[in-house]
Structure 1
Amino acid sequence: MRKPIYSLTRKLARMSWNKYNLYNIANKRLQDTTKLTLFQQKWIGKRETRAYHGDEVTERQFKAKFFNPKLPTVNNGSAQEQPHPAVSVLTFAELERRLDFIVFRSNFCPSVYAARQLCVHGKVKVNGKKLAFPSHKVKDGDVISVDPQAIQMLKGEKGTELEFEPKPFSQPFLFVPEYLEVNYNTCSTVFLRSPISRPGRTEIPSPFPPEFHSLAYEYYARGK
């Protein structure tokens, strides 16, 4: 039997605006790993970050299709800029190309699980064609569109102008990553490029510090 997604005991963060998930994130106390072995530290880093970044993607699928040991970065070299975060913050960058991730990141759904349902039910198009595969990896410049009637935050009768009614607790998460260009008038998104790392920050939304992403990267890179 599968464990509950929003377990208040396990407290694993998910890509969702669910109130129980937000409670888990708000009350998250990352485990002190200083007294653990290096492998144990890597495994904990992997467990925590993978629960958020693609929990329904199997380990085999992630390593074969989405893990890239060669990570890109941008560094302007200016002394006045903040220190560059470890490039390992981009460990899960390829997952951001998934169709269900893009629908969620574009704020068309309150969770990545709801985004997957939209894809499966034929409510999402890529370049004008229905695509029922949530795991589809889009290319730079692809246009992703969602049926407005299927977006939970849009209310109204078909054929009339729909009103936006935000979900409870969603306000802190209503932002768009820089690698997406969203048009809410047409309920569409353009995937511009892969996420990158910049001085002082990374473009991929995550509730975890760079150190945990570094541990996860080292866990997966050991076999490469």
Structure 2
Amino acid sequence: MSKRLQSKYKINRRLGVNLWGRAKSPINKREYGPGQHGQRRRSKPSDFSVQLMAKQKLKGYYGNISEKQFRRYYDEASRRKGDTSENLINILERRLDAVVYRLKFAATPFAARQFINHGHILVNGKKVNIPSYSLKDNDVVEVKEKSKQLAIVLDAVQSKERDTPEYLQVDHRQMKGSFVRSPKLNDVPYPVTMEPNLVIEFYSR
């Protein structure tokens, strides 16, 4: 088990939110941060800390993406036409691990990343083992035939914790779905409030 998998719920406690909306999150019982200083009184946050927190929430939600990679996504979003914050969400939601998670083929973004790494996912009929692979409109994502009866897949598909958003289509009997269109921020079913505009402010300082 990777270090990220072991420490994923520390992200929740550090940020003070139930980032993935899961019932087993420790933030449901302990709303303070981890460590010996977790319960100390917090002063009013500065503009910088508010922007930093917004970045950490968004970065953490997608499986705790590395800072280097997340910065590249910001740079790409800035180069595109239109609203930079909406562009950033669009780029993140096109990640293969995000789509596998949204389609409910995996219980968490971390599990989705591992599932892809182990070669269980096909894109347009071809095996793709790169979690950051960027999907195009109408790309088809499916679980490999030999992997469709794995307990982790069946449990994730049957979970009532979340629904598949409208910008994706899915057939859970065949364990196949597709990326239909670019989502707007309001289309994405985040369990907590995301503020990509503050992320843009953080990087554009």
> How does the TM-score come out when normalised to structure 1?
0.68
- Paired with 2:9 and 2:92, the residues of 1 have a C-alpha distance of 21
2:94 maps to 1:94: no
Q: How far, CA to CA, are the matches of 2:81 and 2:191 in structure 1?
A: 20
What is the root-mean-square deviation in Å for CA atoms of aligned residues?
Answer: 3.3
SS in 2 for 1:63: helix
Structure-2 residue corresponding to 1:45: 54
Q: Deviations over 1:47-86 (max 9, x none)?
A: 233221341x21111121465135757xxxxxxxxxxxxx
Q: Paired residue for 1:128, among 125, 130, 136?
A: 125
Indicate the SS of the match to 1:207: coil
Contact 1:109 1:151 in 2 (8 A): no
Residues 1:188 and 2:176 are matched in the alignment: yes
8 Å CA contact 1:16, 1:112 repeated in 2:
no
Distance in structure 1 (CA, Å) of the matches to 2:47 and 2:136:
36
- Structure-1 residue corresponding to 2:188: 204
Aligned-pair CA distance for 1:151: 5.5
The structure 2 residue matched to 1:59, chosen from 52, 62, 67, is 67
| Gap runs ≥5 in structure 1 | 74-86, 156-163
Q: Distance in 2 between matches of 1:215 and 1:49?
A: 10
The residue matched to 1:181 in structure 2 has which SS? strand
Give, in angstroms, the shift of residue 186 of structure 1. 1.4
Aligned to 1:24: 27
Structure with the larger helix share: 2
Provide the aligned length of Structure 1 versus Structure 2. 186
Q: Kindly tell me: are residues 9 and 103 of structure 1, through their superposed partners in 2, closer, same or farther at Cα, counting changes over 3 Å?
A: closer
C-alpha change, 1:128 and 1:96, in structure 2 (3 Å) is same
Question: What's the offset of the Cα at 1:111?
Answer: 0.9
Q: Equivalent pairs: percent with the same residue? A: 30
Structure 2 gaps, min length 5 = 33-41
